[in-house]
Chains A and B, each alone.
Chain A
Amino acid sequence: MAEKEFDFSEVAMRLGVSRRTFLKFCTGVAASLGLPAASAMAMAKAVADPKRRPPVIWLHGQECTGPTEALLRSEQPSLAHLILDLISLDYHQTLDAGAGHQVEEIKKKSMRENAGKYLLVIEGAIPVKDKGIYCKIAGETMLALTHEAAEHAAAIVAYGSCASWGGVQSATPNPTGAQGAPQVLKGKPVVTIPGCPPNPANFIGTVLFFVTYGKLPPLDEKMRPKWAYGRLIHENCYRRPHFDAGRFANEFGDEGHRKGYCLYKLGCKGPETYNNCPSLEYNNVGGGVWPVGVGHPCFGCSEGGVGFTKPLFSLAVIKTHTPPNVFPEIQDRQDTGGLTAGAAALAGAAVGVAVGASAIAASKLNDKDASASGDQED
C-alpha cells in the first residue's frame, strides 16, 4: 500500500492532479470499458509507472485535425495532461512546440531507438493516387511516411473516420484516391477508432487498456474495440421506444420533433451505425449532447459506407429488425394450442349432450312404440 501511495503522489506531482481526481479518472475509464473495479487500480499503477509509458508517433494525413481537437477538449481537466504524460508523445504535428528539421530529426531518432516498441497513431486519410503526391509532410508523401512508421510499430491505431476508412475525402469522386490506414497497410493489424470526430473516451480507453495489459482489447471484424463499437446506436438510443411505438418526427420543428420522437423518418442512421454515443454521449459534456440527443438524426459519421456516402436524409437500413428478431412466420396461425383445448372440450361436451339426448329420445320412442304395440296386442 505504501508503495502505491508513493507512486500516486509522484503522479500527482508530475501531472498536476490530485490523487483523488486521478483515481476517479481511472475508475471511469475502467467502467466504460466494462472492466471490474480492481482494473482501475491496475490501470492507475500502469499509468503511474513512468517506465511503462510507451513512446507514441502521431501522424496527420488528409483531415481537419478534429480527432486531436476533440481529445484536447476532453472534459476531465487533467485528460489532455494525462494523455500527454502517460504516453511519451515524441512526434505530433499539432502539439509539438518545435518545427521543421528539428522535429523530423526527433521523430526519426525515436523510431530508430524504440523500434518495435512505439505506438503509431494515424489521424487522417492517406491519398494513394499518383503515388500519394496530394499530401506531403517535410517533403515526403503521407503514403511513404505511413509505410515507414508502420514497419516497426508495436501497435497501430487509426484514430478518426478518415484514418479508419477514408472519411469525407474518400467520398465520391475521391479525386486524390484517399484511403484509410487499414486499406493502405494491408496485412498489418490496425485498430480503428472511427468517428467524425471520434469520441476521445474510446481512444483513451483503448490506449489505457493497451498500456495496462500489454495487449489490445477484443476487436470486431472491422478492428474496432468491441467495448465501444459492439452495439448499434439504435439499440441503446433513448428515442427507441418512440420508434417501437411508431411515433416519428416528420420534419424539423414539427410537433413530433419538439416532443422528442424518433428521428428515423428524418434519415437517422442509428439503425446501421455501430457506436456508443447513446450511452457515453459526446466528450463527457453530458446533458444529452450528441446529435440525436439535440434533435438531429445520426448521420453515421463512424460507419464506413454510411457516413459521407449515403444521402443525409435518406432512410437507414434497419439491422435490428431482421431475422432472428421475433416475427411470426408466414405460415403461423394464431389458433394453434392454448385456448383450443378448452374450446375442443366444450364442443365435445355439446356434441355429447346432443348425442345423448337423441339417444334417450330414440329409446323413449322405442319404448313408446313397444308399449303401443303391446296395447294393441292386449
Chain B
Amino acid sequence: MKRRDFLKAAAGGATALCSVGVAQARPNLEPAENAVGMLFDSTLCVGCKACVAKCKEVNNMPPVIEGDNREWDSARDLSGDTLNVIKVYKNGTAKLKDAEVNGFCFEKRSCMHCVDPGCVSVCPVTAMRRDSLTGIVTHHADVCIGCRNCMVGCPYNVPQFEYNDAFGQIQKCQMCNQAGVERIDKGQMTGCAEVCPTGATLFGSRRKLLAEAKRRMRLKPGEIYNYPRGDISKPYSYHEKAVPTYQQHVWGEKEAGGTNVMHISAVPFDRLGMPPLGERSAASIAEGVQHTLYNYMALPAIALAGLTYVVRRNTDDDEGGES
C-alpha cells in the first residue's frame, strides 16, 4: 500500500466519523422521576464516624486496619471493605471549625450516585445500572466481567475492586437498597443517615434535598436554624444550631450532570478534594462519540472496508511480484 493511499483512507474515515459524531452528541441525562439521595452538610459533621460504623454493619464488612493501630477501623479511603469514609480537612493551626485558613472540617467520601453516571456509561456489560425509578446506581456482580472500567470512568474514585481476594468483586455504595437489604424499597432510609446524630447526612428525595440545601444557602450566618435529622420527608427530630457561613455552592446540583448525593460546606470544595468538573457529564460526551462510531455499524463497516482494501492491494502486489 502506498503511503498516499493509506493517508487518504485514514483521512476519509476520520472525517466521516467526526461529522456524524458531533451531530449526534446527546445531552446530560435528567434526574430520575423519584430520585432519592442524600445531603451531606460538612458544617454539621462532628467526625463521630457513626455512619462508617453503621455502613460496615449493614454491609457486613470487616474493619480496615492501618499501620500500628489494631484497635479500630481506620480506613484511609474507600476500598472493597469500606463504602464510606469520613476525611478531615486541616489547615495551619486547625483550631477553627469550618474555617478555610487555620481551620478544619470533615468531608464524607461515598458514592455520589450521579444523575448521568460515568460507571454505567463505561460498563461494557450491564453490571452497572441506574435505577430508572430511584436513580440509585447499582452494581450487579452476576453480570460483571471484572474489567474495572467503572473504576476509571468514575470521577470520584468510588467503585473499588477487592484486590486482596482471588475472586474479588467491585464494591460500591448502593444506597442500602441492594438485594437482601432493600431499605429504600421498604420505605426506610439509608443506614448512615439513620445514625447520624447531627443530620450531617440527611436522606430524602433529590428535589427536597436540593431545596433544603438552597434554603440553607439563603440563611444569615449566626441565625438559629432548626436542622432536621434522618429522613427529610419525616424527620424524627430536629436540633437547633447557629448557621455557619456557607459556600454558595451545592456540589452535585450541576457537576457533571448532577448527583443524587449532594454536599454543602463552609470550605471551598476544591480544598475538600472534589475533582474539577464541568456541567457536561463525561458520559454524554463519550457516548456521543462512541455510539456514533457504531451507528449503523459505521465504524466496523469502514474499518472492514479499509482493511479489505489494504489486504487486496497487498495481495495483488505479492501476486504481481511472484508472477
Contact = CB atoms under 8 A, between A and B. Distances in A.
Given A314-B239, A327-B87, A334 B75 contact: yes
A250 interface: yes
A246 B107 contact: no
Given A246-B48, A248-B197, A318-B47, A330 B87 contact: yes
Interface in A328-363: 328-335, 339, 343
A246 B53 contact: yes
Contacts of B89: 329-330
A327 B77 contact: no
Interface stretch (B78-86, B136-144, B210-218, B307-315): B78-86
Contact of B88 (A247, A329, A333): A329
Contacts of B54: 246
Contacts of B47: 318, 321-322, 325, 327
Contacts of A343: 163
B87 A332 contact: yes
B33 interface: no
A93 B89 CA distance: 55
B76 A333 contact: yes
A178 B179 CA distance: 62
Given A323-B94, A339-B163, A314 B241 contact: yes
B237 interface: yes
Nearest to A325: B47
A330 B107 contact: yes
A326 B163 contact: no
Nearest to B86: A327
A334 B73 CA distance: 13
B197 A328 contact: no
Contacts of B82: 334
A323 B164 contact: no
Interface residues of A, number: 33
B88 A327 contact: yes
Contacts of B79: 334-335
Contacts of A251: 237
B15 to A, nearest CB: 35
Contacts of A64: none
A38 interface: no
A245 B50 CA distance: 6
Given A250-B236, A328-B87, A332-B77, A321 B69 contact: no
A247 B76 CA distance: 23
B237 A315 contact: no
A265 interface: yes
A284 B54 CA distance: 37
B240 interface: yes
A315 B85 contact: no
Nearest to B160: A334
A265 B238 CA distance: 10
Interface in B231-285: 236-237, 239-241, 271-273
Q: Is the interface of A mostly helix, strand, loop or mixed?
A: loop
B69 A326 contact: yes
A328 B94 contact: no
A98 B53 CA distance: 63
A333 B64 CA distance: 13
B158 interface: no
A251 B104 CA distance: 30
A245 B53 contact: yes
Contacts of B160: 334
B121 interface: no
A328 B240 contact: no
A247 B87 CA distance: 21
A323 B197 contact: no
A243 B48 contact: yes
A334 B78 contact: yes
A335 B160 CA distance: 10
Contact of A318 (B46, B53, B271): B46
Contacts of A327: 47, 86-88, 106
A130 interface: no
Given A330-B87, A332-B87, A246 B51 contact: yes
Contacts of B240: 311, 314
Contacts of A315: 46, 197-198, 239, 241
A250 B75 contact: no
A328 B76 contact: yes
Contacts of A335: 77, 79, 163
Interface in B87-121: 87-90, 94, 97, 104, 106-107
Contact of B90 (A243, A311, A314, A329): A329
A244 interface: yes
B74 interface: yes
B48 A244 contact: yes
A321 B236 contact: no
A264 interface: yes
B90 to A, nearest CB: 5
B91 to A, nearest CB: 10
B299 interface: no
A322 B97 contact: yes
A330 B197 CA distance: 22
Interface in A209-254: 243-248, 250-251
Nearest to A251: B237
17 contacts: A244-B49, A245-B50, A246-B50, A248-B50, A264-B48, A315-B46, A318-B48, A327-B106, A330-B87, A330-B89, A330-B107, A330-B273, A333-B76, A334-B64, A334-B75, A334-B78, A339-B164
Given A244-B48, A323-B88, A333-B76, 7 more contacts: A244-B72, A265-B237, A317-B97, A323-B104, A327-B47, A328-B74, A339-B164
Interface of B: 46-51, 53-54, 64, 69, 72, 74-79, 82, 85-90, 94, 97, 104, 106-107, 157, 160, 163-164, 195, 197-198, 229, 236-237, 239-241, 271-273
Interface of A: 243-248, 250-251, 264-265, 311, 313-315, 317-318, 321-335, 339, 343
